[in-house]
Amino acid sequence: MEHVRLLIAGSGPAGYTAAIYASRANLHPVLIDGLLQGGQLTQTTMVENYPGFPDGRMGYDLMADMRTQAERLGADMRFGQVVKADLSTRPFRVTLDDATEMKADAIIIATGASARYLGLADEQKYAGAGVSACATCDGFFYRGKDVAVVGGGDTAAEEALYLSGLAEKVYLIVRRNELRASQVMRERLLKKENITILYEHETVSLTGEGKLEHAILRNKATGALETIDISGFFLAIGHTPNTVAFPQVETDEQGYIKVASPTQATNIPGVFAAGDVCDPLYRQAVNAAASGCRAALDAERFLAR
C-alpha cells in the first residue's frame, strides 16, 4: 500500500493552491482530482473577479494554469476520486474509486460543494450559456438584461438583490406562496422596483437558439403555462458539500465541514479542509485559494511536529 506524507482530495482553486504551497514546502503532495478535475470553475466562461487577470480569464484555462503550476513545483496529480477514508487509524487510509488503497500522514479535503439543480435537461443544455449557480460569479455578464433567480430563501434573496444592481429586471421564481427568507431580506426585496416575485411558480423548461432566451413556468395556482423572456437563469436552491467519503469529520447542520478558525483544521488532528466544502457563505475562487494556502501551511506545521 502506497504511503504518502500529504494527500489532497479534490482539485479546484483550493486543492491546486494547497498543492502549490505543499510542494514548495517539500511535502511531496499527492492530489486526487475528485468529481470534476479543476472544480466548478471549469464549467464557467469568463472569470473577471480573480486578481491578476485585468482582461479576465476563461475558467477552464485558469484552472489549467493552476494545475500546471502545481505540477511544475512537484505535486503528483492523479485522476480519480476518494470514495472512503478511515480516519480512526494513523496513518490515515483512503480508498479510491478504482479500489486503490493509500496511506497518508495528513489529508486536506478540498472536495468542494455541488450546486443543487432542478433536474431539468435544459439546465445542462444552457450551462455556461445562460444557466448559472453563482450570481456573484456570472452576474456581470447580464448587465442591462432580464434574468431570473430560482429559490425562496435568504440565498435566493441575496442573489436577486445582487443582480438587481446589474440587470434591467429580475424575476424571483418561488414555488411556495411565501418566501422562506428572513424578514429583513423580504423587506429589501420589496423595496427593489426592478425585482418581480413570482409566487407559486415552478420552471417547466428553458428554451433558446444556442443560448438561453426564455423560461416556461407553470402557475401552480391555476395550472397555466407562462413564458418569461430572460437571458440568465440563476439557481439559488442550495449546495451539497461533497463529504460522503469523510463521515468522521465534524460538519455543521448544512453538511459543511467545521474548521477551527483561523486555521483550516478539522476535529481530527492531521485532517484539514479547504474551499467550498467548508464555506457555506462566500463560495468564491479567491477565497477557496486562500483557504487552500492556509490548509497547506497548517499541514506543514502538523507534519513538522
Angstrom CA distances, 40 to 156, 160, 305, stand at: 19, 21, 34
3-state class of 109 per DSSP?
strand
By annotation, the residues acting in catalysis are 134, 137-138
What length is written for the chain? 305
Residue carrying the nine cell digits 486536506: 108
The H-assigned helical ranges of the chain are 12-24, 59-72, 121-125, 135-138, 154-164, 183-191, 285-304
Sheet containing strand 214-219, edge to edge, reads: 201-207, 214-219, 225-229
Q: Is the peptide bond before 280 cis (omega within 30 degrees of 0)?
A: no
CB 156 within 8 A of CB 236: yes
CB 237 within 8 A of CB 74: no
Contact residues for 14 (Cβ-Cβ < 8 A; gap 6+): 39, 110, 112, 274, 275, 276, 277, 288, 289, 291, 292, 295
Q: Which three cell numbers stand for residue 144?
A: 442591462
Residue 294 CA, chain-centre distance (Å), reads 18
